[in-house]
Each structure stands twice: as C-alpha cells, then as structure tokens.
Amino acid sequence: MACFVNKVVIVTGASAGIGAATAVRFAQEGANVAIVGRNQERLAKVAEDCAKYGRNPLVIKADVSKDDEARSIVAKTVEAFDKLDILVNNAGIYKYDDIQKPDFMEIFDSIMTTNMRAVAFLTNLAVPYLIESKGNIVNVSSIAGRCVGHPHRTSYKTSKAALNHFTRCIALELAPHGVRVNSVSPGPVATEIFNTAGLPDALTTLKDATALGRVGESEEIADLILFVASDKAKSITGSDYVSDNGMLLKQ
C-alpha cells in the first residue's frame, strides 16, 4: 500500500532535478502534491509525470524568493486540499562568487534570499498547518554546508550551513508540537543546476572527487526524502542525511 495516500505535500523547486523526481515519487505513493517552480513549461511536464499515477498535482508557478508569491504557495495548497502534511524546501540556486569582486554582495544576497530566507519564510507560513496535521519538513541542503574546500562558493556554502543549523533549531522548537524537521544533504547530483550556473563540465570533475567514482541521480535523493518524510522515520528529527557517494571522505 502506498505510504502517503491522501497526504498533502508541497515541493518547491519541482520543475526539474531533485524536486521533480521527489514530486513524482510522492504522487506515485498516493500523495496530493503541490509542485512549485518558476518554469511553467517544465512544471507542466512534471505534472504529466505525476498524473500517470492517478494524481493530478496542483501546479503553482511561483518564485520562492518573493514574499507575495511565497504566501500564495501555502494559501493555494491549503485552499485546494484543506490541509498540509509535508513541506519539502528544495528550491535553491548555485553561483560562483569571489570576495574580491564588486558583485560579491549581489551574488551573496541573491543566494541567501533563495536558499535560506525563502525556506524560513515558507516554514513560518506552513507551521500552523503542519502543527495541526502533526506533519514534517524536509529541507534539501548540500554537503557544501559541511565542507570548506573548493573556493569561490562561499555564498552557496554559507547558505547551506545556515540551512542545516536552521533545521536543527526549528526541529527543537517544533518537537513539542509533534512536527519533525530534517534535512537531506546530497553531494554532486546530475541535475540542471550546474548548467544554470554556467558550469556544464562540473560533474566530470566532481565525479572524480567522490570515493565511489560516481555522481548521484535525482531519484536516489527523492527516495531518501520520502523515507525521511514517512512514518518509517517517525523517531527522527533534527538530523541531516548525507548521500554523496563518499565525497566528504575525500575532503
């Protein structure tokens, strides 16, 4: 029997990569999914993939970094399904930066706004409904939040380190209400984020940097997210699950 029948799930950054794979897996397991992203065409494709399992998702075109649009995500989901059980904060951006360059703060602010502030705001909006449903939150972080190597990624790494600590703090705060909060930290995964960042060849280098000599697939991370969000993990909160093909072992 499907694990998430009639559960209501929001997945941000669902138009591609890990978010898309996660949305489809939740639909496959019987959930009502709200898929959130900025690319309408890609969202439509993900919606088709979800619908193959008998569940038409709620498609929400929104930029999580904009407060009004973030508000609409939670409002539209609750309006459509009357509740919220799981929030997957997956939306994120990745850019190179250089502390010596004039555009450093512009890049820093844009990354922190999307990768950290938007998560905090969406969590704030979703919490009343999650307390009511005794639901949970899964934040998609990165092993970049744990390591310092490889320069010119300061903004991204700082955002993910902040996200990890935010996860732990909110897990403690919401535990008395029966709401679990965890994070998943992938290593390199074959997604569009590198192309979007203008780094199409990055995966080749990153593959060689892993102990297992491979990069992850979006579906692997989706499966981990579903486990953490499921009742199989009902004793787990404030934890960070790493799936990196052993990359941290070589840092």
d(CA 219, CA 124): 28
Residue 26: phi and psi, rounded to 5, are: -65, -45
Q: Which of 94, 96, 129, 156 is catalytic?
A: 156
Could you tell me if residue 24 is inside a domain? Answer: yes
User: Which tens digits make up the pLDDT trace of 37-63?
Assistant: 999 999 999 999 999 998 899 999 999
- pLDDT band of 82, cuts 50, 70, 90: very high
Could you tell me if residue 90 is inside a domain? Answer: yes
Could you tell me if residue 128 is inside a domain? Answer: yes
Could you tell me if residue 38 is inside a domain? Answer: yes
Could you tell me if residue 1 is inside a domain? Answer: no
d(CA 150, CA 133): 42
- Note whether 85 and 133 are within 8 A (CB): yes
Nearest CA-CA partner of 205 in 185, 218, 187: 187
Query: Mean pLDDT throughout 240-246?
Result: 96
Q: What is the mean pLDDT of the chain?
A: 94
Could you tell me if residue 2 is inside a domain? Answer: no
pLDDT for residue 8: 98
User: Which tens digits make up the pLDDT trace of 122-179?
Assistant: 999 999 999 999 999 999 999 999 988 778 999 999 999 999 999 999 999 999 999 9
- Active-site residue, 156 included: yes
Could you tell me if residue 163 is inside a domain? Answer: yes
- Percent of the chain clearing pLDDT 70 (strictly above): 95
Segments of the chain assigned E as strands: 8-11, 32-37, 58-61, 86-89, 136-140, 180-186, 240-243
Nearest CA-CA partner of 141 in 107, 103, 181: 181
The total number of structural domains in the chain stands at 1
Could you tell me if residue 3 is inside a domain? Answer: no
pLDDT for residue 197: 55
Question: Could you tell me the CATH number of the domain that includes residue 46?
Answer: 3.40.50.720
Q: How far is CA 222 from the centre of its chain?
A: 10
pLDDT for residue 1: 39
d(CA 235, CA 146): 24
pLDDT for residue 196: 62
* Strand pairing category for 240-243 and 58-61: unpaired
**pLDDT at residue 195 greater than cutoff 90:** no
- pLDDT band of 85, cuts 50, 70, 90: very high
Provide the angle, in degrees to the nearest 10, between the axes of the packed helices 17-28 and 218-229: 50
Two tokens, residue 165: 């600590």
* Strand pairing category for 32-37 and 180-186: unpaired
pLDDT for residue 204: 74
d(CA 161, CA 144): 8
pLDDT for residue 194: 59
Q: Which domain holds residue 218?
A: 8-250
**pLDDT at residue 251 greater than cutoff 90:** no
The more confident residue out of 206 and 22 is 22
